[in-house]
A and B are shown apart, each in its own frame.
Chain A
């Protein structure tokens, strides 16, 4: 008998498929993973601590840098928390702009996920196709906010700027275009035998496990739990739109893929309806220049592309929060990784990690 040895392998923090500075220490026997230990914190910037010395409006740009692929949702969750505590009434037009921006962000975020996931699996073209469409969304959001990724667009009480002229028309044009491209994506990838073989039955967990690990977003819905905060606890104006919550039963990487792809379609539906109903009016409510939140605490949660993003504020009635905490979905979703990787093949490592869809800025906070 040949003597075999377990090998300790450092995957990351500099690795093409860890989607940022994520480090994974794995013990492998041949190509089989025996144990995996995630090491995080390489991108930790202490957002929550920094926020304790900042005024509320000043915190907004910091939230952009959490989940930098869907910064609009992060903007929103902070503003939403402050607005909830202050009891501010938001103008209609601002709400619509917020929803359109957030849903565009969701589509863009899922597109990046789709492209990079396929890149992880070894296909180079989908990445470029996805980024072509994402570029259009980024351009739309740039017109709105002036920035490509770190938008800093929303404010307590509304949004910073009104949409430029024709912007709504451009968004309306984008929706059918995106639908057409989405059909092309499915033709190229979804039915591909190699792809299906790579992702089907990989990284399976049950409904109970998903709930125990506090997973959210597509990672939860892929096990059959129909839970989407936009539907279950409607915030903003989401109760005005008709859309479905896509779910799957299998709980494997392929079902997560399906959930995300269908979420793009649902987001497009919401954008379409929002564009139709788009009202006139002001975009910023009357709020004081220096925002002071009344003494107390509040926790709000909304549905980000990656799952439930929450914001907890404890205020002592000052300009700055006493304590600010974000529930960052990527961080929670990542926790199931060591369990999923045990006994898996090396090649499945990236399939599983990619399917969780983490953004390191959010994991590390």
Chain B
């Protein structure tokens, strides 16, 4: 349906349909964020021997996040006197918009994808890099020393981890011969790439946690050192936008991990009577759970060690993986 729409003549009706679909996706994502946050808090509660949200919306706290967001909406929106006002207002938008944009190319099942473009993987990587600019802008525009340090850390972290992240995926691209995410899933019908590219998976997973700015790589926020890092001056809904973009990225990254390494919506053998959407959901949830698990377990890494790890460990490993993949592929082609 979407393909037909893309190739049809532009008209107001088509625009309306596209707009409607985008709003639908937004609500799906917001729904995820709502319950993603809740489940994160519940899992954390379980691991830390607490109860977690249990007051609003029944004993599972089902409406807790909704209440939190409502609270943020009615909070006072403060802008520091000495802040760079236009940039201060713009920063959350810059941080959030790309988070939502990357969702367009992600295939959730073979039938549920918005834009099946040829270079989907590249698109994701390129667009997701923009968010960091939002974070740096926020750090600068707040005119606060803590947030400035947070913003600078975010910039340094992005440069160090975007590269191994992309490099770790070259192996997959070599095997598949395509940057299209649908092709990549199709190539995993027999074997998932986590088995063919285990090294790449480890590098990718570590780098993706760093990209998400989550523990142990939450240096831009680093609550105990920088108070709240880049968003220390933000309040109310502007702050919520940063949080929202973080969780949308988490959604996107868990999806991408599923698609690239866990075979997307492919079932495991003999269980293909279970619908694709459920397979996807299961794998996605597993990745999400591990992300939360990591958050609960690890302390924070130090800024200089983070750089060292990115450049001296992850990048060489990713490069070696590319070399090895290319070599093996050539050898298989020879014989």
Contacts and interface: CB of A to CB of B under 8 A. Distances in A.
Co-assembled chains A and B: yes
Interface of A: 7, 9, 15-17, 31, 118-125, 128-129, 132, 188-189, 192, 194-195, 197-198, 345-350
A16 B226 CA distance: 9
B145 A345 contact: no
A347 B150 CA distance: 12
A124 B302 contact: no
A31 B301 CA distance: 15
Contact of B300 (A7, A125, A194, A346): A194
A345 B149 CA distance: 12
Contacts of B219: 347
A119 B225 CA distance: 11
Most chain B CB within a 10 A radius of its CB, from A129, A188, A189, A347: A347
Contact of A122 (B44, B49, B145, B218): B218
B92 interface: no
Contacts of A347: 219, 222, 225, 302-303
A31 B303 CA distance: 9
Contact of A17 (B44, B215, B225, B305): B225
Contacts of B297: 123, 125, 188
Given A7-B145, A128-B49, A197-B305, A121 B299 contact: yes
B82 to A, nearest CB: 15
Interface string B288-316: 00000001111111111100000000000
Contacts of A132: 49
A198 B302 contact: yes
B151 to A, nearest CB: 12
A15 B296 CA distance: 22
A118 B296 CA distance: 12
Contacts of B50: 128
A61 to B, nearest CB: 32
A155 B58 CA distance: 50
Contact of A197 (B44, B227, B302): B302
Interface in B100-154: 145-146, 149
B224 interface: yes
B48 A124 contact: yes
Contacts of A197: 301-302, 305
A128 B224 contact: no
Contact of A194 (B224, B227, B298): B298
24 contacts: A16-B223, A119-B224, A121-B299, A121-B300, A122-B215, A122-B218, A122-B222, A122-B223, A122-B298, A122-B301, A123-B215, A123-B300, A124-B44, A124-B295, A125-B297, A128-B48, A188-B297, A194-B301, A197-B305, A198-B305, A345-B303, A346-B303, A347-B303, A349-B225
B296 A124 contact: yes
Interface residues of B, number: 28
B327 interface: no
Contacts of B23: none
A121 B49 CA distance: 21
Interface of B: 44, 47-50, 145-146, 149, 215-216, 218-219, 222-225, 227, 295-305
B302 A345 contact: yes
B293 to A, nearest CB: 11
A194 B149 contact: no
Nearest to B221: A122
Given A350-B224, A350-B225, A123 B303 contact: no
Given A122-B216, A122-B300, A17 B48 contact: no
Contacts of B224: 16-17, 119-122, 350
Contact of A192 (B225, B295, B298): B298
A125 B47 CA distance: 8
A134 to B, nearest CB: 14
Contacts of A349: 225
Nearest to A347: B302
Contact of B225 (A125, A188, A194, A346): A346
Nearest to A116: B224
A17 B146 CA distance: 14
Nearest to A351: B302
A347 B47 CA distance: 27
Nearest to A195: B299
B296 A125 contact: yes
A346 B146 CA distance: 11
Given A194-B298, A198-B305, A346-B149, 15 more contacts: A16-B223, A122-B223, A122-B299, A122-B301, A123-B298, A125-B47, A132-B49, A192-B298, A194-B216, A197-B302, A197-B305, A198-B302, A345-B304, A347-B225, A347-B302
A123 B299 contact: yes
B147 to A, nearest CB: 12
Contacts of A125: 47-48, 296-297
